[in-house]
Chains A and B, each alone.
Chain A
Amino acid sequence: MWTYDRKLQYPVKIKTPNHNLASIIISQLGGPDGELAASMRYLNQRYSMPYGEVTGILTDVGTEELAHLEMVGAILYQLTRDLSPDEIAGTPFATYFVDHTVGVYPVSASGQKARVTYDNIIRLCDDPDVLDPIRYLREREIVHYQRFGDALRIATDHMNEKNFYAINPSYDQ
């Protein structure tokens, strides 16, 4: 069960639309290492997690990723608002609007991880209104990485010393 908070986790207020920038950022929405994939991965990994601390981290980070999904959506919305079909035609962003039923962005995005992808966006972006929330999202990826480091340590500490592997080898005997 989730409840929607009618606020962004961090403000997004972009003055100048820029569809070229939007075409770079859209991978962080539905791409293989985007916010949606991250959220679904963590929320689905929870169920069989035997350690409460790690279940909590997966639940709360997975939920925060949904807030980041909305922030990326807000960035894309504000970067592409008020564009006419003529303005969209012939731009890199055109296929996303024209052909969105094929799900272009989930299959065309790169295999880079979320933080690295944000690094690349920061290199390509010169609008401070966009850089500010993107930098925030990048920082959150770093915090999540710290907590998952804790989660790995917790899981490792719980492992039976006699079972060197992360799964119990006796299961398949």
Chain B
Amino acid sequence: MTNRRFAPAFSGNDQASLTRRLQAIDFAIQDTVLYLDAYPDDADALDYYRSLIEARAGLLAARSKEMPLTVYDNTGTDWDWVKAPWPWQPEAN
């Protein structure tokens, strides 16, 4: 796991595109987390993890403006948390 860098495969700033971009980077993070659990001393993997977390921050802020990701992200004037589409509905994917 040397010099690995995340290459975004998706673009766009509408809600569906931002969700897809977040799904992609969160998938990379999830797989890296499982690897680091088993190999906590792998410095290259830890570097890769840090770069992913840094790249995720801006994406989370952008997606949260369209639809909060967690109950901690509903920072707008409306309670968007209960609005459709829900993740399991085709319209959200």
Contact = CB atoms under 8 A, between A and B. Distances in A.
Interface of A: 3-15, 52-53, 56-57, 60-61, 64, 70, 73-74, 77-78, 143-144, 147, 150-151, 154
B40 A4 contact: no
B37 A14 contact: no
Main secondary structure of the interface of A (DSSP, over half): helix
B88 A73 contact: yes
B93 A13 contact: yes
Contact of A60 (B33, B39, B89): B33
B38 A57 contact: yes
B23 to A, nearest CB: 6
B27 interface: yes
B45 interface: no
Contacts of A13: 90, 93
B23 A10 contact: yes
Contacts of B93: 8, 11-13
Interface residues of B, number: 30
B77 interface: no
Contact of B34 (A15, A52, A57, A77): A57
B44 interface: no
B61 to A, nearest CB: 15
B37 A56 contact: yes
Contacts of A5: 26, 69-70
Given A7-B22, A7-B69, A9-B23, A74 B87 contact: yes
A151 to B, nearest CB: 7
Contact of A53 (B22, B27, B31, B37): B37
Nearest to B40: A53
B65 to A, nearest CB: 13
A8 B26 CA distance: 11
A64 B35 CA distance: 14
Contacts of A4: 70-71
B34 A61 contact: yes
A12 B19 CA distance: 13
Interface string B18-59: 011011001100110111111110000000000000000000
Contacts of B34: 57, 60-61, 64, 143-144, 147
Contacts of B37: 53, 56-57, 60, 147
A13 B92 CA distance: 8
B87 A70 contact: yes
What are the 8 A-B residue pairs with the smallest beta carbon separation, nearest first?
A74-B88, A150-B38, A56-B37, A11-B93, A13-B93, A57-B37, A8-B87, A13-B90
